[in-house]
Amino acid sequence: MSGRNEAAWRMFEADRASKNLGMRLVEATDGLAVVEMTVGPLMVNGHGIAHGGFVFTLADTAFACACNVDGQGVTVASGADVTFVAAAHEGDLLVATARERTLFGRSGLYDVTVRRGEEVVAEFRGRSRTLPQRG
């Protein structure tokens, strides 16, 4: 952890919500972040599958880390959409890989794929906005 990617690691270390869900930041480099999470028993809905909100949260965390790799201010979500492709179950290890697609001005687009092994569980598109620096 050195250079530009330290900002994402510092942000993740302070992210109590993600850490309390058992998420682990695996990688954070230019425009890319990988976060993993094991579906726990308190993450399963009434159908016996992972609640979509937890899958979304995993993707959103990877998105946040990818947006904040460069440490050039604070970048937040301005919106996001998710498509659930396959059900996840208790005990599944989910891996979210976020990739920067494009930056324009203070805005950006990021795609996140959530996988269980090689199987796609969800596709997420996030829209980011870098906040003006206060000074």
pLDDT digits (tens, 9 = 90+) for 82-119: 999 999 999 999 999 999 999 999 999 999 999 999 99
| Number of Cβ within a 10 Å radius of residue 96 | 28
Reported confidence tier of residue 121, pLDDT bands at 50, 70, 90: very high
**pTM for this one?**
0.94
Q: Could you give the CA distance from residue 84 to residue 129 in angstroms, rounded to a whole number?
A: 25
DSSP string, 77-94: EEEEEEEE-S---TT-EE
Residues 6 or more apart whose CB falls under 8 angstroms from that of 118 comprise: none
Residue 36, both tokens: 């993993």
Domain ranges of the chain: 3-130
Please give the structure tokens belonging to residue 129: 């906005």
Identify the residue whose tokens are 């399963």. Answer: 44
Element (H, E) at 33: strand 32-38
Residues 6 or more apart whose Cβ sits within 8 Å of residue 77:
60, 63, 64, 67, 126, 127, 128, 129
Read off the pLDDT band of 17 (50, 70, 90).
very high
With respect to CATH, is domain 3-130 assigned 3.30.70.980? no
Tell me the pLDDT tens digit for each residue of 39-77. Answer: 999 999 999 999 999 999 999 999 999 999 987 889 999
